Amino acid sequence: MEMLANIERDGHLMIRAMFLTLSAMVVALFWFLWNRKSSKNPMPPLPPGPRGLPFLGSLPFIGPNLHHEFTNLATIFGPIYKLQFGSKLCFVLSSPSILKQVLRDQDTLFANRDPTIAAQIVSYGCTDIAFGPYGPDWRRLRRVFMSHMLSKANLDASYALRKEEVLKSIGHTYGKVGSPIDLGQFAFLKSINTVMRMLWGGTLEAENGADLGAEFKNVQQNAMAEIIELVGKPNVSDFFPSLARFDVQGIARRMKQLQSMTEKIFYSAIERQKSEAVKKDEGLELKHERKDFLRFLLELNDHEDGAKSITLQQLKALLLVQYSYL
């Protein structure tokens, strides 16, 4: 019995030794393959940069004047260096030659951005040309934006429209001789009239124009300025995505409120354009014969060809970008 026990024990030991040997061979094989692959595609070393704190990185050491901070760090670490902001690894470029490589020579490689949470909200999930990923959709939207709104032909076509608004403003001023005029409000309404007619063919003198004008003034003077500020404002949720659900600074909540304000304007303009399209189909004469930007976008929204059509979200995102430009 003792001999049988010894044989059984030796058999277990032999099996265990074979298993350990086989495991070591598999590990060695994977290690060899990994090193071979790494030697063929070696990772380039990261640029230098200041050492930050664990988890926080360099966030506690960056002051409010970023351009001064970055200039000082460039004198220490050179024209390109890295900074760790929470979970985000950033690179700062301060050399004209490097910037030329990134922004012009290799622009397609660096075209994609890491949008902030505020930018994702205001761009309807990065469906515009400012924050959208580079690709066929982005190129199509940019072509629409440049060829049908910012083109020289379109600006030339709106010359008579702008001249008409100037003549109307002169006549309005002449009619107020002897009465005080709020030049700030007057200039604002006339500029907005011109922008609105270029974008969607309407003016503030239309039905319910007073309400629309007041709301548009609020969007122009307050909301749009705040939207731009929130897009560039440092947000804890951007540096630590795990905290995004809590919206510690309330930036996402406020951006959604501002977006709803602009959507009311866009919705009114879209409904007006659709009603004018119905009148045109019924043979009624329209006041604005020129095909404005919004009408063109609505035609693309209804286009049967999926390669040429745009979604309603993309339409509103393009309108917001165009409004910001103007």
Q: What is the pLDDT of residues 148-169, one digit of tens each?
A: 666 777 777 778 777 888 888 8
210 shares a domain with 250? yes
Closest CA to 238 of 59, 110, 37: 59
Query: Which range is most confident: 109-113, 174-178, 247-251?
Result: 247-251
Which secondary-structure segment (H or E) carries 260?
helix 251-281
283 shares a domain with 180? yes
Q: Beta strand 80-85 with 88-93: parallel, antiparallel or unpaired?
A: antiparallel
Question: Does residue 214 belong to any structural domain of this protein?
Answer: yes
164 shares a domain with 293? yes
69 shares a domain with 147? no
Question: Does residue 232 belong to any structural domain of this protein?
Answer: yes
77 shares a domain with 150? no
- Write down the pTM of the prediction: 0.70
Question: Does residue 179 belong to any structural domain of this protein?
Answer: yes
83 shares a domain with 152? no
Per-residue pLDDT, 50: 94
pLDDT at 224 over 90: no
Question: Does residue 124 belong to any structural domain of this protein?
Answer: no
220 shares a domain with 86? no
Q: Distances from the Cα of 153 to the Cαs of 149, 158, 159, 164, 297, in angstroms?
A: 9, 9, 10, 18, 17
Q: Which comes out higher in pLDDT, residue 44 or 209?
A: 44
CA–CA separation, 32 and 26 (whole Å):
10
**CA torsion through residues 35, 41, 42, 48, sign:** negative
Question: Does residue 119 belong to any structural domain of this protein?
Answer: no
151 shares a domain with 84? no
Per-residue pLDDT, 117: 95
Mean pLDDT of 169-198: 78
Query: Which range is most confident: 32-41, 63-72, 311-320?
Result: 63-72
pLDDT at 253 over 60: yes
Mean pLDDT of 218-226: 69
Q: Which comes out higher in pLDDT, residue 274 or 285?
A: 274
Query: How many domains does the chain contain in total?
Result: 2
Q: Distances from the Cα of 80 to the Cαs of 105, 111, 183, 240, in angstroms?
A: 17, 18, 49, 24
Question: Does residue 120 belong to any structural domain of this protein?
Answer: no
8 A C-beta contact, residue 289 and residue 161: no
- CATH number for the domain spanning 163: value is 1.10.630.10
Question: Does residue 151 belong to any structural domain of this protein?
Answer: yes
Query: Which range is most confident: 4-8, 13-17, 148-152?
Result: 148-152
Mean pLDDT of 13-30: 61
288 shares a domain with 162? yes
pLDDT at 271 over 60: yes
Question: Does residue 48 belong to any structural domain of this protein?
Answer: no
Per-residue pLDDT, 241: 92
Residue 92 belongs to domain spanning? 59-110
264 shares a domain with 208? yes
Q: Distances from the Cα of 37 to the Cαs of 22, 33, 40, 44, 192, in angstroms?
A: 23, 6, 5, 14, 60
Residues 6+ apart with CB under 8 A from 296: 144, 148
181 shares a domain with 255? yes
Arithmetic mean of pLDDT over the chain: 77
Q: Percentage of the chain with pLDDT > 70?
A: 69
Per-residue pLDDT reduced to its tens digit, 51-94:
889 889 999 988 888 889 999 999 999 999 999 999 999 999 99
221 shares a domain with 98? no
